[in-house]
Amino acid sequence: MLIAATICLGLLAVATGVGYFIYTWLKVDPIAVASDASDIDRIAAVEGWLNDQFDNCKFNGGVLIIRDGNVLLSKTCGYTDHSATHQLDDHTAFRLASVSKQFTAAGALRLAEMDLLDLDDPVAEHLDNFPFENVNIRHLLNQTSGIPDEYMTLAEEHHEPVGDVLTISKAVDLVMQHSKPDRPPGDAMEYSNTNYVLLAGVIESVSGKSFEKFMSEELFQPLGMNDTRVWNLVSDERSPNQASDFDQIDDDRTPIEPTWLDGVAGDGAVFSSLNDFVSWDRFWYGNSRVSNTLLEQAFDRPKLKDGSRSDYGFGWVVERKRQWHNGAWLGANTYLVRYPKTRSCLVVLDNSSNLRLDSIADEIEEALKPIFTDD
Protein backbone atom coordinates (compact mmCIF):
# COMPACT_ATOMS: atom_id res chain seq x y z
CA MET A 1 0.00 0.00 0.00
CA LEU A 2 2.80 2.40 0.94
CA ILE A 3 4.67 1.65 -2.30
CA ALA A 4 1.49 2.19 -4.37
CA ALA A 5 0.77 5.46 -2.61
CA THR A 6 4.35 6.61 -3.19
CA ILE A 7 4.11 5.77 -6.91
CA CYS A 8 0.80 7.63 -7.19
CA LEU A 9 2.25 10.69 -5.48
CA GLY A 10 5.25 10.55 -7.78
CA LEU A 11 3.07 10.36 -10.89
CA LEU A 12 0.95 13.23 -9.59
CA ALA A 13 4.05 15.34 -9.04
CA VAL A 14 5.29 14.58 -12.58
CA ALA A 15 1.88 15.41 -14.06
CA THR A 16 1.73 18.65 -12.06
CA GLY A 17 5.22 19.57 -13.19
CA VAL A 18 4.44 18.86 -16.84
CA GLY A 19 1.18 20.80 -16.57
CA TYR A 20 2.96 23.78 -15.04
CA PHE A 21 5.64 23.68 -17.75
CA ILE A 22 3.01 23.66 -20.50
CA TYR A 23 1.08 26.47 -18.80
CA THR A 24 4.25 28.56 -18.48
CA TRP A 25 5.30 27.83 -22.07
CA LEU A 26 1.91 28.83 -23.47
CA LYS A 27 1.41 31.85 -21.23
CA VAL A 28 1.70 35.35 -22.65
CA ASP A 29 2.34 38.42 -20.55
CA PRO A 30 -0.48 40.98 -20.30
CA ILE A 31 -0.28 44.18 -22.30
CA ALA A 32 0.72 47.00 -19.95
CA VAL A 33 -1.58 49.93 -20.65
CA ALA A 34 -3.05 52.52 -18.28
CA SER A 35 -6.82 52.57 -17.85
CA ASP A 36 -6.93 56.20 -19.01
CA ALA A 37 -4.51 55.73 -21.91
CA SER A 38 -5.31 57.44 -25.20
CA ASP A 39 -6.15 55.44 -28.31
CA ILE A 40 -2.74 56.25 -29.74
CA ASP A 41 -0.99 55.00 -26.60
CA ARG A 42 -3.06 51.81 -26.60
CA ILE A 43 -2.11 51.04 -30.20
CA ALA A 44 1.55 51.80 -29.44
CA ALA A 45 1.40 49.43 -26.44
CA VAL A 46 -0.01 46.64 -28.60
CA GLU A 47 2.65 47.18 -31.26
CA GLY A 48 5.49 47.10 -28.74
CA TRP A 49 4.00 44.04 -27.06
CA LEU A 50 3.79 42.19 -30.39
CA ASN A 51 7.48 42.91 -30.99
CA ASP A 52 8.22 41.36 -27.58
CA GLN A 53 6.16 38.28 -28.39
CA PHE A 54 8.06 37.80 -31.64
CA ASP A 55 11.43 38.31 -29.92
CA ASN A 56 10.42 35.60 -27.40
CA CYS A 57 9.32 33.21 -30.20
CA LYS A 58 5.67 33.49 -29.14
CA PHE A 59 4.27 35.07 -32.31
CA ASN A 60 4.96 34.84 -36.03
CA GLY A 61 2.21 36.56 -37.94
CA GLY A 62 0.18 39.67 -38.57
CA VAL A 63 -2.30 41.89 -36.73
CA LEU A 64 -4.75 44.35 -38.26
CA ILE A 65 -6.77 46.84 -36.21
CA ILE A 66 -9.50 48.95 -37.80
CA ARG A 67 -11.84 51.56 -36.34
CA ASP A 68 -14.59 53.15 -38.44
CA GLY A 69 -12.86 52.14 -41.66
CA ASN A 70 -9.49 53.61 -40.61
CA VAL A 71 -6.47 51.34 -40.18
CA LEU A 72 -5.02 51.98 -36.72
CA LEU A 73 -2.38 49.26 -36.98
CA SER A 74 -1.23 46.86 -39.68
CA LYS A 75 1.67 44.95 -38.18
CA THR A 76 3.62 41.86 -39.19
CA CYS A 77 6.35 40.10 -37.22
CA GLY A 78 8.24 37.11 -38.52
CA TYR A 79 8.78 34.96 -41.55
CA THR A 80 6.85 33.54 -44.47
CA ASP A 81 8.20 30.00 -43.97
CA HIS A 82 10.48 27.80 -41.88
CA SER A 83 13.65 28.99 -43.63
CA ALA A 84 13.28 32.43 -41.98
CA THR A 85 14.67 34.10 -45.09
CA HIS A 86 11.68 36.22 -46.11
CA GLN A 87 9.84 38.64 -43.87
CA LEU A 88 6.06 38.76 -43.64
CA ASP A 89 4.40 41.94 -44.89
CA ASP A 90 0.94 43.44 -45.38
CA HIS A 91 0.53 41.57 -48.67
CA THR A 92 1.55 38.12 -47.40
CA ALA A 93 -1.35 35.72 -47.88
CA PHE A 94 -1.92 33.58 -44.76
CA ARG A 95 -3.89 30.35 -44.64
CA LEU A 96 -7.16 31.32 -42.90
CA ALA A 97 -8.31 27.83 -41.85
CA SER A 98 -11.93 28.04 -40.60
CA VAL A 99 -12.09 31.82 -40.93
CA SER A 100 -12.54 30.77 -44.59
CA LYS A 101 -16.13 29.78 -43.79
CA GLN A 102 -17.39 33.37 -43.96
CA PHE A 103 -15.87 33.63 -47.45
CA THR A 104 -17.73 30.48 -48.51
CA ALA A 105 -20.90 31.98 -47.03
CA ALA A 106 -20.31 35.12 -49.07
CA GLY A 107 -20.05 32.92 -52.17
CA ALA A 108 -23.47 31.47 -51.44
CA LEU A 109 -24.84 34.97 -50.87
CA ARG A 110 -23.40 36.06 -54.22
CA LEU A 111 -25.26 33.20 -55.95
CA ALA A 112 -28.45 34.32 -54.21
CA GLU A 113 -27.81 37.88 -55.39
CA MET A 114 -27.43 36.51 -58.93
CA ASP A 115 -30.80 34.71 -58.54
CA LEU A 116 -29.11 31.36 -59.15
CA LEU A 117 -30.33 29.96 -55.84
CA ASP A 118 -32.47 30.84 -52.84
CA LEU A 119 -31.06 30.37 -49.36
CA ASP A 120 -34.09 28.25 -48.45
CA ASP A 121 -33.72 25.94 -51.46
CA PRO A 122 -33.33 22.26 -50.61
CA VAL A 123 -29.72 21.22 -51.16
CA ALA A 124 -31.08 18.34 -53.25
CA GLU A 125 -32.26 20.92 -55.78
CA HIS A 126 -28.63 21.75 -56.54
CA LEU A 127 -26.72 18.53 -55.80
CA ASP A 128 -27.86 15.51 -57.78
CA ASN A 129 -28.78 12.49 -55.64
CA PHE A 130 -28.39 14.40 -52.39
CA PRO A 131 -30.22 12.05 -49.97
CA PHE A 132 -31.14 14.46 -47.15
CA GLU A 133 -34.34 15.93 -48.58
CA ASN A 134 -35.19 18.33 -45.74
CA VAL A 135 -31.76 19.98 -45.56
CA ASN A 136 -31.64 23.40 -47.21
CA ILE A 137 -28.86 25.87 -48.01
CA ARG A 138 -29.58 27.92 -44.89
CA HIS A 139 -29.19 24.83 -42.70
CA LEU A 140 -25.67 24.36 -44.07
CA LEU A 141 -24.80 28.02 -43.54
CA ASN A 142 -26.16 28.04 -39.97
CA GLN A 143 -24.60 24.67 -39.05
CA THR A 144 -28.06 23.25 -38.28
CA SER A 145 -28.26 20.56 -40.98
CA GLY A 146 -27.84 17.63 -38.59
CA ILE A 147 -25.16 16.21 -40.92
CA PRO A 148 -22.22 15.15 -38.73
CA ASP A 149 -18.71 16.53 -39.11
CA GLU A 150 -17.19 13.40 -40.56
CA TYR A 151 -16.05 13.98 -44.13
CA MET A 152 -12.39 13.53 -43.11
CA THR A 153 -13.18 10.34 -41.20
CA LEU A 154 -15.11 9.01 -44.19
CA ALA A 155 -12.17 9.85 -46.45
CA GLU A 156 -9.79 7.92 -44.17
CA GLU A 157 -12.17 4.95 -44.14
CA HIS A 158 -12.46 4.97 -47.94
CA HIS A 159 -8.96 6.12 -48.81
CA GLU A 160 -8.41 3.62 -51.61
CA PRO A 161 -11.42 4.60 -53.78
CA VAL A 162 -10.81 8.30 -53.03
CA GLY A 163 -7.30 8.12 -54.47
CA ASP A 164 -4.31 10.37 -53.99
CA VAL A 165 -6.14 13.64 -53.28
CA LEU A 166 -9.48 14.33 -51.62
CA THR A 167 -11.40 16.95 -53.61
CA ILE A 168 -14.64 18.84 -53.01
CA SER A 169 -16.61 16.57 -55.33
CA LYS A 170 -15.15 13.40 -53.78
CA ALA A 171 -15.94 14.67 -50.27
CA VAL A 172 -19.53 15.48 -51.32
CA ASP A 173 -19.92 12.00 -52.80
CA LEU A 174 -18.60 10.37 -49.62
CA VAL A 175 -21.09 12.30 -47.48
CA MET A 176 -24.00 11.45 -49.78
CA GLN A 177 -23.08 7.74 -49.85
CA HIS A 178 -22.02 7.07 -46.29
CA SER A 179 -23.18 9.79 -43.89
CA LYS A 180 -26.30 9.59 -41.73
CA PRO A 181 -27.73 12.70 -40.02
CA ASP A 182 -27.43 12.88 -36.25
CA ARG A 183 -30.76 14.68 -35.97
CA PRO A 184 -33.39 16.42 -38.13
CA PRO A 185 -32.35 19.77 -39.65
CA GLY A 186 -33.11 22.81 -37.51
CA ASP A 187 -33.00 20.89 -34.22
CA ALA A 188 -29.62 22.15 -33.01
CA MET A 189 -26.45 23.94 -34.01
CA GLU A 190 -23.59 21.48 -34.37
CA TYR A 191 -20.36 22.90 -35.77
CA SER A 192 -19.50 20.86 -38.86
CA ASN A 193 -16.79 21.40 -41.44
CA THR A 194 -18.79 19.03 -43.64
CA ASN A 195 -21.57 21.63 -44.01
CA TYR A 196 -19.17 24.10 -45.60
CA VAL A 197 -17.57 21.56 -47.93
CA LEU A 198 -21.12 20.77 -49.09
CA LEU A 199 -21.66 24.51 -49.64
CA ALA A 200 -18.55 24.61 -51.82
CA GLY A 201 -20.02 21.69 -53.76
CA VAL A 202 -23.28 23.61 -54.20
CA ILE A 203 -21.38 26.68 -55.43
CA GLU A 204 -19.54 24.57 -58.01
CA SER A 205 -22.73 22.84 -59.15
CA VAL A 206 -24.78 26.02 -59.45
CA SER A 207 -22.09 28.22 -61.02
CA GLY A 208 -20.64 25.60 -63.34
CA LYS A 209 -17.17 26.75 -62.24
CA SER A 210 -14.61 25.49 -59.80
CA PHE A 211 -15.02 26.92 -56.31
CA GLU A 212 -11.66 28.64 -56.69
CA LYS A 213 -12.57 30.28 -59.99
CA PHE A 214 -16.04 31.37 -58.85
CA MET A 215 -14.72 33.00 -55.69
CA SER A 216 -11.99 34.79 -57.61
CA GLU A 217 -14.20 36.06 -60.43
CA GLU A 218 -17.29 36.96 -58.41
CA LEU A 219 -15.79 38.25 -55.16
CA PHE A 220 -12.04 38.65 -54.82
CA GLN A 221 -11.25 40.36 -58.13
CA PRO A 222 -14.24 42.74 -58.12
CA LEU A 223 -13.47 43.71 -54.52
CA GLY A 224 -9.84 44.44 -55.36
CA MET A 225 -8.62 41.68 -53.04
CA ASN A 226 -5.58 40.85 -55.13
CA ASP A 227 -3.76 38.86 -52.43
CA THR A 228 -6.74 36.60 -51.71
CA ARG A 229 -7.45 33.24 -53.30
CA VAL A 230 -8.66 29.73 -52.70
CA TRP A 231 -5.67 27.39 -52.81
CA ASN A 232 -5.47 23.64 -52.32
CA LEU A 233 -3.74 20.63 -53.85
CA VAL A 234 -5.77 20.83 -57.07
CA SER A 235 -4.95 24.51 -57.59
CA ASP A 236 -2.24 25.92 -59.79
CA GLU A 237 1.11 26.72 -58.19
CA ARG A 238 1.27 28.88 -55.10
CA SER A 239 1.18 32.64 -55.34
CA PRO A 240 4.60 34.22 -54.70
CA ASN A 241 3.23 36.06 -51.66
CA GLN A 242 1.65 32.98 -50.06
CA ALA A 243 2.93 32.03 -46.62
CA SER A 244 3.79 28.43 -45.75
CA ASP A 245 3.09 26.77 -42.42
CA PHE A 246 5.65 25.54 -39.92
CA ASP A 247 6.05 24.29 -36.38
CA GLN A 248 8.11 26.54 -34.14
CA ILE A 249 9.70 25.76 -30.78
CA ASP A 250 11.99 28.59 -29.77
CA ASP A 251 14.20 29.22 -32.83
CA ASP A 252 13.68 25.74 -34.28
CA ARG A 253 11.29 25.76 -37.27
CA THR A 254 10.03 22.67 -39.10
CA PRO A 255 7.92 22.88 -42.27
CA ILE A 256 4.35 21.55 -42.30
CA GLU A 257 3.14 20.33 -45.68
CA PRO A 258 -0.48 19.78 -46.75
CA THR A 259 -1.72 16.19 -46.71
CA TRP A 260 -3.88 14.30 -49.21
CA LEU A 261 -6.95 15.72 -47.41
CA ASP A 262 -6.02 19.23 -48.55
CA GLY A 263 -7.68 19.08 -51.95
CA VAL A 264 -10.96 20.26 -50.44
CA ALA A 265 -12.17 23.81 -49.79
CA GLY A 266 -15.18 25.56 -48.34
CA ASP A 267 -14.43 24.77 -44.73
CA GLY A 268 -10.95 26.21 -45.25
CA ALA A 269 -8.40 26.82 -48.05
CA VAL A 270 -8.80 30.60 -48.38
CA PHE A 271 -5.56 32.59 -48.14
CA SER A 272 -5.64 36.34 -47.51
CA SER A 273 -3.50 39.26 -46.39
CA LEU A 274 -3.84 42.06 -43.85
CA ASN A 275 -4.13 44.48 -46.77
CA ASP A 276 -7.10 42.58 -48.22
CA PHE A 277 -8.82 42.27 -44.85
CA VAL A 278 -9.33 46.02 -44.97
CA SER A 279 -11.55 45.43 -48.01
CA TRP A 280 -13.11 42.35 -46.42
CA ASP A 281 -14.11 44.30 -43.31
CA ARG A 282 -15.66 46.96 -45.55
CA PHE A 283 -17.53 44.27 -47.52
CA TRP A 284 -19.81 43.42 -44.59
CA TYR A 285 -21.05 47.02 -44.27
CA GLY A 286 -22.23 47.14 -47.88
CA ASN A 287 -20.79 46.39 -51.29
CA SER A 288 -21.60 46.04 -54.98
CA ARG A 289 -21.65 42.24 -55.02
CA VAL A 290 -24.25 41.34 -52.37
CA SER A 291 -27.26 43.40 -51.28
CA ASN A 292 -27.57 44.65 -47.71
CA THR A 293 -30.73 42.56 -47.30
CA LEU A 294 -28.72 39.41 -47.89
CA LEU A 295 -25.68 40.59 -45.93
CA GLU A 296 -27.75 41.23 -42.83
CA GLN A 297 -28.95 37.63 -42.82
CA ALA A 298 -25.37 36.49 -42.20
CA PHE A 299 -25.65 37.91 -38.67
CA ASP A 300 -29.12 36.62 -37.81
CA ARG A 301 -29.23 34.22 -34.87
CA PRO A 302 -31.30 31.35 -36.27
CA LYS A 303 -34.35 30.12 -34.40
CA LEU A 304 -34.25 26.40 -33.64
CA LYS A 305 -37.24 24.08 -33.50
CA ASP A 306 -37.48 24.31 -29.70
CA GLY A 307 -37.75 28.11 -29.93
CA SER A 308 -34.22 28.84 -28.73
CA ARG A 309 -31.69 30.82 -30.72
CA SER A 310 -28.34 29.58 -31.98
CA ASP A 311 -25.35 31.92 -32.04
CA TYR A 312 -24.00 30.78 -35.42
CA GLY A 313 -24.80 32.94 -38.45
CA PHE A 314 -23.23 32.45 -41.87
CA GLY A 315 -19.60 31.74 -40.99
CA TRP A 316 -19.79 34.04 -37.96
CA VAL A 317 -20.37 33.45 -34.25
CA VAL A 318 -22.90 36.16 -33.42
CA GLU A 319 -22.93 37.80 -30.00
CA ARG A 320 -24.67 40.92 -28.69
CA LYS A 321 -21.80 43.34 -29.32
CA ARG A 322 -19.43 41.38 -31.50
CA GLN A 323 -19.18 38.83 -34.29
CA TRP A 324 -16.18 36.55 -34.58
CA HIS A 325 -14.64 33.34 -35.86
CA ASN A 326 -11.37 31.53 -35.38
CA GLY A 327 -9.55 28.76 -37.18
CA ALA A 328 -6.71 26.25 -36.94
CA TRP A 329 -5.32 23.89 -39.58
CA LEU A 330 -1.79 22.69 -40.28
CA GLY A 331 0.37 25.59 -38.96
CA ALA A 332 -2.31 28.25 -39.30
CA ASN A 333 -4.04 29.78 -36.28
CA THR A 334 -6.41 32.63 -37.07
CA TYR A 335 -8.89 34.96 -35.41
CA LEU A 336 -11.21 37.70 -36.65
CA VAL A 337 -13.65 39.80 -34.62
CA ARG A 338 -15.76 42.80 -35.57
CA TYR A 339 -17.67 45.29 -33.40
CA PRO A 340 -20.42 46.70 -35.65
CA LYS A 341 -21.43 49.59 -33.38
CA THR A 342 -18.00 51.21 -33.62
CA ARG A 343 -17.19 49.64 -37.00
CA SER A 344 -14.10 48.13 -35.41
CA CYS A 345 -12.26 45.00 -36.47
CA LEU A 346 -9.34 42.93 -35.21
CA VAL A 347 -7.55 40.32 -37.34
CA VAL A 348 -4.83 38.06 -35.89
CA LEU A 349 -3.05 35.58 -38.20
CA ASP A 350 -0.15 33.24 -37.48
CA ASN A 351 1.51 30.54 -39.60
CA SER A 352 3.72 28.92 -36.92
CA SER A 353 1.43 26.41 -35.15
CA ASN A 354 1.01 28.99 -32.41
CA LEU A 355 -1.10 27.50 -29.62
CA ARG A 356 -0.96 30.88 -27.85
CA LEU A 357 -2.96 32.66 -30.54
CA ASP A 358 -6.25 32.75 -28.62
CA SER A 359 -4.44 34.24 -25.63
CA ILE A 360 -2.72 36.79 -27.86
CA ALA A 361 -6.05 37.80 -29.41
CA ASP A 362 -7.66 38.04 -25.96
CA GLU A 363 -4.90 40.32 -24.69
CA ILE A 364 -5.17 42.64 -27.68
CA GLU A 365 -8.96 42.77 -27.42
CA GLU A 366 -8.77 43.60 -23.72
CA ALA A 367 -6.18 46.33 -24.24
CA LEU A 368 -8.26 47.90 -27.00
CA LYS A 369 -11.66 47.45 -25.39
CA PRO A 370 -12.31 51.24 -25.13
CA ILE A 371 -11.57 51.60 -28.84
CA PHE A 372 -13.78 48.69 -29.85
CA THR A 373 -16.73 49.31 -27.55
CA ASP A 374 -16.65 53.00 -26.51
CA ASP A 375 -17.03 51.73 -22.92
Tell me what pLDDT residue 168 has: 98
pLDDT mean across residues, the chain: 94
Distance, in Å, from the CA atom of 322 to the CA atom of 232, rounded to the nearest integer, reads 31
pLDDT at 20 over 50: no
362 in a structural domain: yes
86 in a structural domain: yes
pLDDT at 275 over 80: yes
Q: What percent of the chain stands above pLDDT 70?
A: 93
Q: Name the residues annotated as catalytic.
A: 98
Q: Kindly state the average pLDDT of the residues 148-170.
A: 97
Distance, in Å, from the CA atom of 208 to the CA atom of 101, rounded to the nearest integer, reads 20
Q: Kindly state the average pLDDT of the residues 20-38.
A: 77
27 in a structural domain: no
2 in a structural domain: no
172 in a structural domain: yes
Query: pLDDT tens digits, residue range 108-145?
Result: 999 999 999 999 999 999 999 999 999 999 999 999 99
149 in a structural domain: yes
220 in a structural domain: yes
Q: Kindly state the average pLDDT of the residues 263-277.
A: 98
* Res. 13 pLDDT band, cuts 50 70 90: low
Tell me what pLDDT residue 1 has: 58
Query: pLDDT tens digits, residue range 202-253?
Result: 999 999 999 999 999 999 999 999 999 999 999 988 888 999 999 999 999 9
* Res. 105 pLDDT band, cuts 50 70 90: very high
* Res. 328 pLDDT band, cuts 50 70 90: very high
215 in a structural domain: yes
pLDDT at 10 over 60: yes
Q: Is 54 exposed, middle or buried (0-12, 13-18, 19+ CB in 10 A)?
A: middle
Single pTM value for the model? 0.93
Contact 222, 228 (CB under 8 A): no
Tell me what pLDDT residue 118 has: 98
Tell me what pLDDT residue 181 has: 92
Range of the domain at 162: 38-373
Specify the number of domains making up the chain: 1
Query: pLDDT tens digits, residue range 64-74?
Result: 999 999 999 99
Residue 356 sits in a domain whose CATH number is 3.40.710.10
pLDDT at 12 over 90: no
pLDDT at 185 over 90: yes
pLDDT at 21 over 50: no
